[in-house]
Each structure stands twice: as C-alpha cells, then as structure tokens.
Chains A and B, each alone.
Chain A
Amino acid sequence: DTAVSQTPKYLVTQMGNDKSIKCEQNLGHDTMYWYKQDSKKFLKIMFSYNNKELIINETVPNRFSPKSPDKAHLNLHINSLELGDSAVYFCASSPGPQLNNEQFFGPGTRLTVL
C-alpha cells in the first residue's frame, strides 16, 4: 500500500545511454513533481504536473523529458546521460498545486552514471 512508489530504486549506467525512471502514486492526488538531490543533499525541483499538464519546468537540460500518461503516473526519461546527472531523483505528489499542500515523497532513485 505504498503511497508514492518509484522504480528502479538503483540505476547504474554508462555515459551516453538513455534511461527512464517511473513514478506512481495511489493517493488520488492531482499534482506530481520530480526533484533532483545532489551529492551535497541539496534538493531542487525539476518539473511539476497538475492533471497531466506541465506547470513547473525549471532550467533543466532538454535531455530530461517528463511524461504524465495519467494523473497517477509521472515518468522521467533522460537522454544521453552525463556524469553530472548522477544524483538521487525523488518523485512527489500533492492533492493540488496550492502552495500550502503537503507533498508526499517517494523513496528515491539513486542514479549513477559511469
């Protein structure tokens, strides 16, 4: 009965490869997010979708492409992986995009690019 789940938990790959991370929430929330946590634990928003529509798109390289097939899923596809993409990626969801909403986080996906 996990609220926000991500797959895979660990991902090790070579530079130049293309990979995807999947996220699903069973909370019935309308809004989902992708965050990147770097090696210094600094957490930064990348994207947010509300009802399958993009509402936040930070200055992220266009090698990163989010896709929301429905409200319960927000996947992250990364093309031509680079060493600097190594990080922990967290998916999160909230009832709506309103600023006072609590965000519920997944367990994270640790991406290592060799």
Chain B
Amino acid sequence: AQSVTQLDSQVPVFEEAPVELRCNYSSSVSVYLFWYVQYPNQGLQLLLKYLSGSTLVESINGFEAEFNKSQTSFHLRKPSVHISDTAEYFCAVTEMDSSYKLIFGSGTRLLVRP
C-alpha cells in the first residue's frame, strides 16, 4: 500500500535562505508525485507535479522538486525563500494502477522569518 512521509512538521528559515522540504513515499508500482501548498485559511493549490520524463520539475515561483526513484523521494527545494512562501506544504502520491486516490503526507509548515 502506498504511503507518504514528510519527516519535518515545521521548517523555520530566514528570508533569502535556501530550503529543502523532504518527502519520501512507499509504493510497489509506478507513481505520480505532487506538491501542494496551503496558505493560511485557504484551500490547497498545486505547486508542481511529476508525471513522467525529466525527474526535475519546477514551479513558476522558483520551487523545484526532483524525483529520485532509487531513494523513493520527491524533495522540494527553493534556493532563496520569501516571507510570502510561509505556508503548509503537502507532498502527495498516487499509484498508476490505484482507484483514483491521492494520498497526502502530513504536511510541513515552512515558516520564513525576516
């Protein structure tokens, strides 16, 4: 059965510092991988996704994530964060032969300080 682990519940960083949010998954079949972001008092929004092809995927606001099949990881990175990046970040996975279910990790709160 598939599962998603986000080991860090909270990551505090200073503005303009780099950040990495970790995500590991377990699955015996091929997967699609997603990062969603939840700003305070809002619903989730898709940040980026890996479906196939290049293992490095990027978002329009400077985040990137790399699919590592051997390590079953999909870590999210940004070289320089802004105050406005403060939010909850959720990693999610779906197996290609599952019944349409998206499985979420427990989330990582990114707290950017001035």
Contacts and interface: CB of A to CB of B under 8 A. Distances in A.
B90 A43 contact: yes
A99 B106 contact: no
Interface stretch (B16-24, B56-64, B67-75, B96-104): B96-104
Contact of B46 (A90, A98, A103, A107): A103
Contacts of A97: 100
A113 interface: no
B106 A107 contact: no
B93 to A, nearest CB: 10
Given A40-B106, A43-B90, A107 B43 contact: yes
A107 B41 CA distance: 7
B45 A105 contact: yes
Contacts of B44: 43, 90, 92, 103, 105
Contacts of B32: 99-100
Contacts of B90: 43
Given A99-B94, A100-B49, A107 B100 contact: no
A105 B107 CA distance: 16
Interface residues of A, number: 23
Interface in B19-50: 32, 36, 41-46, 49
A106 interface: yes
A1 B44 CA distance: 17
A44 B41 contact: no
B19 to A, nearest CB: 18
Contacts of B98: 99
Contact of A105 (B43, B94, B101, B106): B43
A56 B101 CA distance: 8
14 contacts: A4-B43, A31-B100, A42-B107, A43-B107, A55-B99, A56-B101, A92-B43, A100-B51, A103-B46, A105-B44, A106-B43, A107-B43, A108-B41, A108-B42
B111 to A, nearest CB: 14
Most buried by B among A44, A92, A100, A108: A100
A53 interface: no
